[in-house]
Amino acid sequence: MYIVVNGGGKVGSHLAQIMAQSGHDVAIIEKRDDVVEKLVTELGGHALVIHGDGCDASYQEDAGMARSDVFVAATGDDDDNLVACQLAKVAFGVPRTVARVNNPKNERIFNTLGIEAISSTTIIARMIEEEATVGDIRTLISLRKGNMSIVEIELPSDRCVVCNKRVAELPLPVDCVLVAIIRGEDIVTVHGDTELLAGDVVIAFTSVEHERDLKKALTGQ
């Protein structure tokens, strides 16, 4: 899959690193000189770094937008993210656009235009409302009109059925992929040989219909 990201800040750079490490082809567009230099160093040639404005068609073209499967607008400016996503959809026919939305009030506008809007404020509010406990499955983001989700599951500290096992050995349900692990203050990218530990918080991509099966596979409950 080919992914183009606009915005090389913390969100965009981390996303680019995760996608590149997962074997995807990635390009990232950034207009700030100092951030571009940082991206080139951090990504180490694993992603194409374009120095320019992602709201400009010429820079989107330089990033190979015409062959992109997904475009992600991850800047801190909702207006820029909206313009960049619309440009990607209309000018280059990108099949899927995802935008970081900083003001939750703008989510409806993005969704109306067919852009998948992700607001950290909305995610945090949902987490607080759900009051999930250890072993519970918590939906962070719903995608594809509610058919797919990014979920969070905390592994128990005792009687952990998957701890000290490699991810490749786990009997995960179909359409379920472990994306990352929050371990203390660290975020660990998941590979087949990654071992799970007690107290890990697992971030997974799953179909909604298999969420409960995923919880059972990871917690035994």
Q: Do 171 and 112 sit in the same domain of this protein?
A: no
To the nearest whole number, what is the mean pLDDT of the chain? 85
Query: How confident is the model at residue 136, as a pLDDT?
Result: 60
Query: How confident is the model at residue 132, as a pLDDT?
Result: 46
Q: Do 37 and 109 sit in the same domain of this protein?
A: yes
Q: Do 72 and 96 sit in the same domain of this protein?
A: yes
Residue 15 CA to chain centroid, in angstroms? Answer: 6
Query: How confident is the model at residue 134, as a pLDDT?
Result: 47
Q: Quick one: tokens of 141?
A: 């983001």
Task: Reply yes or no on whether the pLDDT at 2 is more than 70.
Answer: yes
Q: Do 30 and 89 sit in the same domain of this protein?
A: yes
Domain boundary among 102, 123, 144: 123
Domain boundary among 123, 141, 173: 123
Q: Do 108 and 139 sit in the same domain of this protein?
A: no
Q: Given pLDDT bands bounded at 50, 70 and 90, which one contains residue 53?
A: very high
Interval 111-127 mean pLDDT: 72
Q: Do 42 and 137 sit in the same domain of this protein?
A: no
**Domain holding 91: CATH number?**
3.40.50.720
Residue 72 belongs to domain spanning: 2-123
Q: Do 48 and 140 sit in the same domain of this protein?
A: no
**Domains in the chain: how many in total?**
2
**Domain holding 183: CATH number?**
3.30.70.1450
Could you tell me which residue, 71 or 141, shows the higher pLDDT? 71
Query: How confident is the model at residue 150, as a pLDDT?
Result: 83
In whole angstroms, give the CA distance from residue 105 to residue 107: 6
- The string over 147-171, giving b where at least 16 C-beta atoms fall within 10 Å of a residue's C-beta and e elsewhere, is ebbbbbbbbbeeebebbeeebeeee
